[in-house]
Structure 1
Amino acid sequence: MTSSLPLLAGAALVAGLLGAPQTGATTTEHGRWAVSASRPQPVAMARPAAKTAVVADRDDVVERVAARGTPDQRHVLDYWTPRRMAAAVPIDLLGTAGMFGKPGVPLRQRAARTTGTRWNAGGSVTRTAGTRWNAGGSVTRTAGTRWNAGGSVTRTTGRVFLTLGGLDFVCSASSVRSTNKDLVVTAGHCVKDGTGAWADNWTFVPGYDRGRRPYGQFTARRMFVAGPWSRSADDSYDIGMVALNHRGGRHLGEVVGGQGIAFGTARGRQTHGFGFPAEPPYDGEHLVYCAGPVRDDPHGQTDDQGMRCDMTAGSSGGPWLSGFDVATGRGTITSVSSFKYSDDRGTMYGPYFGDVARELYTAAERS
């Protein structure tokens, strides 16, 4: 498998280069750094473990305790000032400074064996790059349009703010219906840097819009990733789930609701993907969506499915909804935005939610 440049999975290397200390747990499986063929080898460092840092390893689930007590939660909430939120960036923007790959390379990318061609819509298919769309008709295919139709998705989808290697980054995520009413789903690399460090200062802002936080922000209390992602940064399992702390005594699900989630569904379905892309032509301040059928990875390097989508860095972790109802803004989460091939920037890929994703969800919703 050829090399890839992840949106967040380069941060362990950044931490090694900068010598930035971590405030949370950094112990990986078996107490050592693992090396993935698709990742640059991180620089191993001795890091202090926080008193709340606990890492548990199951067959296909790896978890870490985050901000549980009031002091830890307050630290995270105080950390994310409006200025810090505005300054947080997708990690690949560091590429423009020459730290990762070629300048200006967008999103988390993989090198494909074949050259992808851009998909040109014909007839009734709409293809845009950040234009406004108002409800009044169903757009069944779009490669990147601002969502203005309202509905539940505007509340359940939000931005994630996190720290890796002492640097602040952004992702996307969605509230999902669960037993504990506190669960969000996102990409694994928005929670843990593959074989490397866990994220710190993790917080979710549902309903984010132009800096506004209409439902407040929710800090992480427990974070989960799939075992194959933690062991080898396997993009087929780039899935993360985070159980959140209450806010004002209320669960996230009570405040904004949650989308449904399903596993082992039929492949190739019509899908709507949502997120907050932050690289041009987008600015991360608005909810954007793509829509269309998904297809298997034509390069055979992952078990993922791809959708025509122009969304850029910052949209990673955003939900992919099948059976989406544009009138209500509700659907069923069957994947999340994960990566793009470097020579096909018009297709976004997301992991297939199978048995491992189901086990991950079961562990997270019971936490």
Structure 2
Amino acid sequence: MTLSTSLLAAAPLIVGLTGPAILGAVPGQHQVDRPAVEHAVEHAAARQSMVVEHEAARSDAEQRRVLGYWTPQRMAAALPIGLLDSVTDGDGLLSGLTGRGGVQAKPGVSGGRTEINVGRRHQASSRPQASTIGARWSTGGAVTRTTGRVFLTLAGADFVCSASTVTSASRDLVVTAGHCVKDGAGEWAQNWTFVPGYGRGGEQPYGQYAARRMFVSAPWSRSGDDNHDVGMVALATSGGRHVADVVGTQDIAFNTRRGGQTYGFGYPADPPYDGDQLVYCAGRLRDDPYKQTRDQGLGCAMTAGSSGGPWLSGFDPMTGRGTVTSLSSFKYSDDQHTMYGPYFGQAAKAVYATAERA
């Protein structure tokens, strides 16, 4: 993510891709004065210019190699993505991240940096709470299957993030943070693997899925723009089965109304958490008070490792289903208890439109 305190440029607008959209909704008819085919070509070209793609493990042999890489020992030793600067020393995004941060920590207006830690482990609640800065999710439901841990290699070091399956034409798509896929303007992640429903002691009830293709928006790829910290990954099948057919999916939406009640999920691995349990935060969203991004904040004390975990609007705690409208991205170093997530607007919609059919 971008670590400067300068104001960020406004997100680009893609002509023809306007208005709120939830996957599965029937689009309204448009008044056109040119053939629909011509409009489709224009829209596809606009989307393509906004999306940067990377080919990951395409062949069966390469997918087997990636899955074989993640031995139980490597998984246990992988570090939360917020610790990148502790083990890498390049000149790109990786070298600029703060230390033991709550996801990626960036300086607040004071310019100071602090370690983002919470005093004690938050205990599970017997029933879902409408407002919490962090509790173990113990209610079950779809979210326990659709959310999972991500294991990846960047700059020669192994890391963990979080991600969620989302509805797609391919039945293979997950959404996560851009910094869990590509180091801003730097390199792409390697050995990228998704483990849905990850459990204590490394339990993998639904198997592992290697990445086939990765997608981020052009602003993220060019400069690690916080407004566009979104990545989408098309997975290979496991045992011949698509991930959506095994664990189900959450809906995903774009250009939704700002604010409102949201539940955020992830696998925080920095103390006081250990990455073995699904944790959630819940509350109402608010705009970035520093005005450095268009992101929205959620009261949340989750730590590193929760990066990329889904934020679900319209969430039903009884079924564990909702609509992904953002994800865990960063914290300001002088505000340990607010997580920020990118607004899913036109750029995120363009990434999805390309990735869901990959």
The answer, yes or no, to whether TM exceeds 0.5 is yes
- Residue 95 of structure 1 and its aligned partner are, at CA, apart by 5.2
Is 1:3 the equivalent of 2:3?
yes
Aligned counterpart for 1:130 among listed residues 122, 129, 146: 122
AA partner of residue 3 (structure 1): L
For 2:277 and 2:134, the matched residues in 1 are separated by 12
Q: How does 1:56-75 map to 2 (within 5 A)?
A: 58-75=48-65
> Structure 1 residues 356, 103: CA separation in 2 closer, same or farther (over 3 Å shift)?
closer
Report what 2:291 is aligned to.
300
For 2:2 and 2:152, the matched residues in 1 are separated by 28
For 2:83 and 2:317, the matched residues in 1 are separated by 33
Aligned counterpart for 1:111 among listed residues 103, 107, 111: 107
For 2:2 and 2:245, the matched residues in 1 are separated by 44
Identity of aligned residues (%): 62
Report what 1:189 is aligned to.
179
- Residue 100 of structure 2 contacts residue 270 of structure 2 at CA under 8 Å; is this kept in 1? no
AA partner of residue 124 (structure 2): R
Corresponding residue SS for 2:220: helix
- Residue 301 of structure 2 contacts residue 338 of structure 2 at CA under 8 Å; is this kept in 1? yes
Structure 1: where are the runs of 5+ without partners? 6-56, 117-126
Aligned counterpart for 2:258 among listed residues 254, 267, 278: 267
- Residue 261 of structure 1 and its aligned partner are, at CA, apart by 0.4
Q: How does 1:148-227 map to 2 (within 5 A)?
A: 148-210=138-200, 211-227=202-218
Q: How does 1:1-367 map to 2 (within 5 A)?
A: 3=3, 58-93=48-83, 104-113=100-109, 129-135=121-127, 138-210=128-200, 211-367=202-358
Corresponding residue SS for 1:58: helix
CA deviations 1:179-214 (Å, max 9, x no partner) are: 110000000000000000000000000000111000
- Residue 106 of structure 1 and its aligned partner are, at CA, apart by 4.2
> Structure 1 residues 98, 72: CA separation in 2 closer, same or farther (over 3 Å shift)?
closer
Higher relative contact order (CA 8 A, sep 6+): 2
For 1:268 and 1:312, the matched residues in 2 are separated by 23
AA partner of residue 202 (structure 1): W
- Residue 160 of structure 1 contacts residue 172 of structure 1 at CA under 8 Å; is this kept in 2? yes
The RMSD of aligned alpha carbons is: 2.3
Give the TM-score, by structure 2 length: 0.81
Structure 2: where are the runs of 5+ without partners? 6-46, 90-94, 113-118
CA deviations 1:337-359 (Å, max 9, x no partner) are: 00000100110000000111111
For 2:198 and 2:165, the matched residues in 1 are separated by 13
- Residue 269 of structure 1 and its aligned partner are, at CA, apart by 1.1
Corresponding residue SS for 1:74: helix
AA partner of residue 293 (structure 1): R
Corresponding residue SS for 1:331: strand
CA deviations 1:197-242 (Å, max 9, x no partner) are: 0000000000001110000000000100011000111000000000
CA deviations 1:72-113 (Å, max 9, x no partner) are: 001001100000000000143355679667654443111111
For 1:290 and 1:321, the matched residues in 2 are separated by 10
Corresponding residue SS for 2:221: helix
- Residue 132 of structure 1 and its aligned partner are, at CA, apart by 1.0
Paired residues in the alignment total 304
- Residue 218 of structure 1 contacts residue 246 of structure 1 at CA under 8 Å; is this kept in 2? yes
For 2:63 and 2:331, the matched residues in 1 are separated by 34
For 2:357 and 2:347, the matched residues in 1 are separated by 16
Moved more, 337-346 or 94-103: 94-103
CA deviations 1:29-88 (Å, max 9, x no partner) are: xxxxxxxxxxxxxxxxxxxxxxxxxxxx93110001111111100100110000000000
